[in-house]
Structure 1
Amino acid sequence: MNKMNRFTKLQREVISAGRCTSCGACTTFCPRMTRVRSQPNSQTITGLFKGHRTRVSCDECDICYNVCPGSPELDRELLKEQVIGDMRPRILAARINNQKLHKLTHDGGAATAITQQMLSNGQKVAVTVKDKTYPLKTLHTTLRALDEATSAAGTRYGTTPNVLSLHERPDCFIGLGCHTTAIRRAEAEGLIKPPVLIGLFCMRNINYQNLLKILAQVGVNREDATKIRIEENQVKIRTRDDKDNVTIPLEEVSSLFRDECRFCPDPTAELADISIGSIGTEDKWSTIVIRTKRGADLINKLEENGTITTTDEVDSGAIERLIKLKSQ
């Protein structure tokens, strides 16, 4: 191991270098770390595995660095080979058949369909939800009851340390590529047997503090802003009464997005069991990429019990262009 202890290395190469995604992985798996003002901090014994290596100094431990998705030393192809194998991805278009839930979703509601299926089986699902007071603020939580499925329906933009939800031992985890990469790294380290991983397409995420500044500039109170959509090179902010809706050209609010996201090479969550997005499919449909046998079994079950409808009508070239664009 390098003479520099791994937390110091994490600070220098990830946190101070502007590569930290705030995914929560290091503070989930390292027994000595916590979060201070949304940043990893090594000061308190905590972590998913309480007692694990607590008597080992940072000079003898490498957990925090080895689970970090922002590490410049990460070999993604090797990790993919270790945890995914050589299964060829299958790409489909999917749409949830529950019309009530479909109306609440951004596109086809595939992630909501999976949430519904898991909860109906009595399983727990880790998701991102909106804050009840400030709807554009995102929170990570674990759902346990079927009637909670609606709380996670629809698209959420925001940076949340979702990996911390593993403390709740969920059966299914829905997050971004940075989250699923961190969990797969932990799996490769032998730290965890991961839940079913659902990865959401993501080009870049929102800086909530900068979002608040933009809301102030356009005269919208943060408690009144209920939804944000990013499409057609525009940022669309919806308010509670729909009277003060705002549309802003994307080029005018570049500060809205996290600088850290520019380092991410994975817009399609390629280490998930199933990846979900909207690129390449028609309006009101979801694009799903099945990457593992576990993912295939889940989608087959959803098809068989009528939870979703699927087709092969997907423009896979659009997905390839998205990946190429992110790598530039």
Structure 2
Amino acid sequence: MSQSKFFELKEKIIETGKCTSCGTCVAVCPAHCLELHDLKPNMIDSKESSEVNECLECNLCLNFCPRSSYNMEFTEKYDPKISLGNTFSARTNDKEIKARCQDGGIVTTIIKFLFDEKLIDGALVSKFNKDWKPEPIIIQNKEELKSSSGTRYNISPNVSILTLKHLIEDLDLPYGDVNKLRIAFVGTPCQILAIKKLQSYKTNSQIFPSNVIKYTIGLFCMENFQYDKIMEEFVSKKLKISIDSLKRMNISKGKLLIQIDGNDEPISVAVKELDPYTNSACHYCVDFSNLYADISVGSIGSKSGYSTIIVRNKKGREIFERALKKDYFKTIQLTQKDLDSIRVLENIKKNKIKN
């Protein structure tokens, strides 16, 4: 099997520690010859599967990697700035979501709104398996939302399941043509960037799966962690906490708070202790507040029990205002000091970048 083009991705991105494990290369490969193994792309031998073709040497895997050269011309205008005009603090009005959510429950609430208004057929989110390992999943109704609430601090390769094979075989499609699907995508800055690179590609036909992503909801992200490092090496071995006893994990005010069965108070760990367990690709990322999402959501800037929302473009503004008007959530005014707290973390992340 020819590996010339994949070798370029391997040499420039994977072996240099820049791979974010987003799974975009797997999703865009027209030959279906890539897979993730231990969260890193690998080429499948076509002799091992009749569904795998020889590498077409199309270079899509490298071109649309979020860590390759950007070279984008957006069709939409994005607002990279944080201001009182586009940044809000909000909390869900849904009692069920409020009872199980992290912070203000806004991501879950926006997706619920999109389902209620029949604006989407599915939402690509992540959920925990029994070992607290995040896995990407496309939910097809608002009742499935409860499985995806809460924050993940391990990598979930969300883009990887946006393959034709997965969408056709594993989803209950409302119509025969998979290209008519309308999906809301929730992801980290690197994942959203990959989607936007796909959508900005100038060609007569869109690159799948960019055409099925209708809305992007971006999460604030300072850094992310591989499961084996943060959960197995740090939580299980160093802190001696059983994975089975975990109830909730949250990062707040420079502390990782771990809630376990039998303890009223969470175990508190300084975030700086997590530095050795950070995914290497995060050291090359400058985007904290998810600049290219339609709507960005995080906790920084808001008081406890609320989420910060940054409306980035016209599409994001439309769904934000419609959901607010229909009383899906309440908002409170942020101050310039609140906005500054977000800017501080944006600058910290930019200053940490490796050259």
What TM-score do you get using the length of structure 1 for normalisation? 0.86
Instruction: Report the Cα distance in structure 1 between the residues aligned to 2:199 and 2:345, rounded to whole angstroms.
Output: 27
Alignment partner, residue 156 of structure 1 = 152
- SS of the residue 2:74 aligns to: helix
CA distance in 2, matches of 1:252, 1:98: 36
Matched residues in 2 for 1:100 and 1:57: separation? 49
Asked whether the 8 Å contact 1:118–1:125 carries over to 2, the reply is: no
Shift of 1:206: 1.7
Comparing 101-110 with 24-33, greater Cα deviation is found at 101-110
Q: Deviation string for 1:270-328 (max 9, x for gaps)?
A: 11111111111222111111112111111111011110112342522222222111111
Please state how far the C-alpha of 1:180 moved relative to its aligned partner: 0.5
1:70 is the counterpart of 2:67: yes
| Cα shift readout 1:165-210 (whole Å, capped 9, x = no counterpart) | 4343552011111111111111122312232000000000122111
Unmatched tracts of structure 2, length 5 or more: 168-180
Do the aligned residues in 1 keep the contact of 2:25 with 2:160 (CA within 8 Å)? no
Indicate the residue corresponding to 2:40 in structure 1: 39
Matched, 1:188 2:200: yes
Of 297-306 and 145-154, deviating more is 145-154
TM-score of the pair, normalised by structure 2: 0.80
Q: Does the alignment pair 1:257 with 2:256?
A: no
Per-residue deviation, 1:86: 5.5
Gaps of 5+ in 1: none
Equivalent-residue separation in structure 2 for 1:276 and 1:245 (angstroms): 24
Q: Report what 1:213 is aligned to.
A: 233
Question: 1:48-83: per-residue Cα shift (whole Å, max 9, x none)?
Answer: xx99xx67731xx12001110122x225xxx3x524
Report the equivalent of 1:130.
128
**Distance across 2 between alignment mates of 1:62 and 1:285:** 43
Distance in 1, Cα, partners of 2:149 & 2:38? 28
- The aligned counterpart of 2:94 is 98
The one-letter code of the counterpart of 2:340 is G
**Distance of aligned partners of 1:268 and 1:182 in 2 relative to their CA distance in 1, 3 Å threshold:** same
Q: Is the 8 A contact 2:78 2:291 kept in 1?
A: no
Whole-Å separation in 2 of the counterparts to 1:115 and 1:14: 33
Pairing of 1:1-328 with structure 2 (within 5 A): 5-31=4-30, 32-43=33-44, 57-58=56-57, 61-71=58-68, 73-75=69-71, 79=72, 81-85=73-77, 90-122=86-118, 123-131=121-129, 133-134=130-131, 136-167=132-163, 168=167, 169=181, 171-189=183-201, 190-191=206-207, 192-193=210-211, 194-211=213-230, 212-214=232-234, 215-242=236-263, 245-314=266-335, 315-328=338-351
Q: Give the Cα–Cα distance (whole angstroms) in 2 for the partners of residues 311 and 277 of structure 1.
A: 15
- Does the CA contact (< 8 Å) of 2:155 and 2:227 recur in 1? yes
User: Is contact 1:142–1:170 with CA below 8 Å preserved after alignment?
Assistant: no
What is the rounded CA distance, in whole Å, between the counterparts of 1:251 and 1:160 in structure 2?
Answer: 22
- Superimposed CA distance per residue, residues 111-132 of structure 1 (whole angstroms, 9 cap, x where no aligned partner): 011121123345311111111x
Tell me if structure 2 keeps the 8 A contact 1:84–1:271.
no
Q: Is the 8 A contact 1:210 1:256 kept in 2?
A: yes
CA distance in 2, matches of 1:85, 1:66: 22
CA offsets 1:117-161 (integer angstroms, 9 cap, x no match): 123345311111111x22x31111111122222222221221011
Q: Distance in 2 between matches of 1:144 and 1:157?
A: 24
The answer as to whether partners of 1:118 and 1:124 remain within 8 angstroms in 2 is no
Determine what percentage of the aligned residue pairs are the same residue: 25
SS of 1:102's equivalent in the other structure is helix
2:158–2:191 CA contact under 8 A, matched in 1:
yes
State the superposition RMSD in angstroms. 2.4
CA distance in 1, matches of 2:262, 2:295: 36
Return the letter of the residue paired with 1:264. C
Counterparts of 1:303 and 1:130 in 2: how far apart (Å)? Answer: 29
Secondary structure class of the residue paired with 1:265: coil
* CA distance in structure 2 between the aligned counterparts of 1:88 and 1:327, rounded to whole angstroms: 14
CA contact (8 A) 2:80 2:291 kept: no
* Moved >6 Å (runs of 4+): none
